[in-house]
Amino acid sequence: KLMKVFITRRIPQEGMKILSAAGVCEVSQWDSDEPVPRAELLKGIQGAHGLLCLLSDKIDAEVLEAAGPNLKVISTLSVGFDHLAIDEIKKRGIRVGYTPDVLTDATAELTVALLLATARRLPEGVEEVKNGGWSSWKPLWLCGYGLSGSTVGIIGLGRIGMAIAQRLMPFGVKRLLYSGRTAKPHAAEVNGEFVPLDTLVSESDFIVVSCSLTPETQGMCDKSFFSKMKPTAVFINTSRGAVVNQEHLYEALSSGQIAAAGLDVTTPEPLPTNHRLLTLKNCVVLPHIGSATYSTRGVMSALAARNLLGGLQGTDMPSELTL
């Protein structure tokens, strides 16, 4: 008898092909590019043995209750898992698959692109070209900050943080600082210096947030954090929006306490178009596209499908989260 699987969105065909070729499950899907309404999720998951979800789906006790006792595996098309109620999932003996590694390069590239775009004011420049603000080559116009000779601070030197560091060093970075729970042996490859968070914040010209969202990191970048930054420093976040107190960030940017910020993640997502942060020229906001290359999304889809199959069949999952 075929096992039931619910997929919360239209996903790249790579994963769909793997699931149909396996011939072990009957798939129902929210067949849209837009998020599944909560009521449809609660209905769709009833009796399911497996769930394939996205980072925009909040999987909490209510969803697990609605699923019932069949549910064996949750496979998320993401490296982050802060949208999953891990304690509730663990209590029920459900396995979790996720997609680390395969999106590391794409996310690191996007982070570098966002850092350069923010520091060198690319969105402002593009806008000036279009609106007629470009009147001449001007010595004092649209100046920003360069990486050469700078100090970069990475908060969370995990897989993605490390890939960001490796890409930034060739720009002539002088010092690479990092902070986190523990010193990382692999930091030696990028001459990374493990320092307390306060030191990183006060000494860096570029601060890159690349940690996961946990109770410890939630709201970590707040008033006190921004007040320690150099007024010429640039703040970049490609991890999770909730690591940042956005009201405090707005104050720091609008008062000139810090130079600029580039965010690929916000709270909420999407950020309302009338949000205050979007009125600031020194704030570059992207719509959470860190892993968005065609090939990476295809590979993520395939990995999520294989994780799901492993969980359904009680075999190894290529990327199982240790709960």
Residues in contact with ligand GLV, counted by CB under 6 A, come to a total of 7
Q: Which of 290, 299, 308, 319 binds ligand GLV (CB under 6 A)?
A: 290
Residue 96: φ, ψ to 5°: -125, 130
Q: Which of 80, 219, 298, 318 binds ligand GLV (CB under 6 A)?
A: 80
* Residue 292, number of CB atoms within 10 A of its CB: 15
- Taken as a whole, the chain contains a residue count of 323
Closest by CA to 9, choosing from 61, 48, 44, is 44
Q: 223 to each of 26, 119, 218, 237, 245, how far by Cα in Å?
A: 50, 21, 13, 16, 8
Under rule CB under 6 A, residue 125 binds ligand GLV: no
Residues 6+ apart with CB under 8 A from 303: 15, 97, 99, 102, 318, 319
CB of 138 to ligand GLV, least distance (A): 11
Q: Which of 8, 291, 301, 319 binds ligand GLV (CB under 6 A)?
A: 291
Q: Which of 55, 164, 207, 263 binds ligand GLV (CB under 6 A)?
A: 55
Under rule CB under 6 A, residue 78 binds ligand GLV: yes
Q: Which stretch binds ligand GLV (CB under 6 A): 22-30, 38-46, 74-82, 185-193?
A: 74-82
Q: Which stretch binds ligand GLV (CB under 6 A): 5-13, 72-80, 114-122, 183-191?
A: 72-80
- Known catalytic residue: 288? yes
* CB of 253 closer than 8 Å to CB of 261: yes
What residue ranges bind ligand GLV (CB under 6 A)? 55, 78-80, 103, 290-291
Active site members: 288
